[in-house]
Structure 1
């Protein structure tokens, strides 16, 4: 079956229903009520590097943990709506070398948590695995909770997706290019395989970082603070091999 793509020529390249990146300057930010989501969505007017104006649809303001200012340079990953030539549906915001996901790969909004999205997204000690690889990408998948995921390349070239912890808990203790060894539960989310990491070691610094307990409960959760020292500081002082 031939794949049909609707293309639009805007002067910033040939754009289509395929995913692309755009770069430019924010010239206006506003809130627009969306009947589709029944809430107010942040919308940006972007002046691209060659002077074209693009309208970018983001997410609710409360879902963003950072502010976007007029005059700021920004990079967005997404695709244009086929019916609206200059409207850009954003999936990721790229800012200060971090990637903030606001929609999944099927462009379902991450600020809407449905039972279908959450199904099978739990830690199962029976499916624990241990893998080692080099970090290729670090991504913040929820600008609201600052939840971090990473893609690592194994020795055989396979790319594995990892679900880690909020960025404030990790405190920049890993970076792209680091080789890490992780232990965690294999799960499926949105039909995609991933590992929910319980513990990992940065082989560059030799530090072991514990993210979840043996049953998979996150150690950064507020209800665990003060329980025998378990809380935000967990995993910071451990070094060496497992």
Structure 2
């Protein structure tokens, strides 16, 4: 009988250890913004004074690491009437988990801040419209949708 109680206690402690270890690892994966949070050097590039709206056709979608040390993000090249331009959407983990999927040859409307990135014009998107669907990425001040709750 003592052996059975010892075995049950051992299994219980092992399970407790494994669950706590699993939760600790999961918490580590989500720690920090990967350089995409508000107040980071990349986020400060968004300028509400340079917000504009463009329309065009998506000609490419790819991963991009905007600044050293950041986690990868998603960007696309949009061919407008005037020029092809790089449009930065946001962190890969956020964009890849949205219901709205954007692909090459889609016609879209992009609202965002025009910036200079690596010496070329680019847009940091705040909103993407594809047909009747709207993907909201940032508010009018550039606060990222993936950053969660904040005080008004």
TM-score of the two chains, using structure 2 as the length reference: 0.61
Q: Counterpart of 1:150 in 2: which secondary structure?
A: strand
5+ long unaligned stretches in structure 2 = 1-40
Distance 1:119 1:139 in 2: 18
How has the CA–CA distance of structure 1 residues 210 and 198 changed in structure 2, closer, same or farther, with 3 Å as cutoff?
same
Aligned with 2:105 (options 172, 177, 185)? 177
Aligned with 1:213 (options 125, 133, 139)? 139
RMSD of aligned residue pairs (Cα, Å): 2.5
5+ long unaligned stretches in structure 1 = 1-117, 229-242
Runs of 4+ in structure 1 over 4 Å off: 118-121
Q: Counterpart of 1:220 in 2: which secondary structure?
A: helix
Distance 1:119 1:178 in 2: 27
What do the CA deviations read for 1:9-52 (whole angstroms, capped 9, x no partner)? Answer: xxxxxxxxxxxxxxxxxxxxxxxxxxxxxxxxxxxxxxxxxxxx
State the partner residue of 1:200: 128
Which one has the largest radius of gyration? 2
Q: What is the total number of aligned residue pairs between the two structures?
A: 105
Does the alignment pair 1:124 with 2:124? no
Q: Counterpart of 1:212 in 2: which secondary structure?
A: coil
Greater helix fraction, Structure 1 or Structure 2? 2
Distance 2:135 2:71 in 1: 19
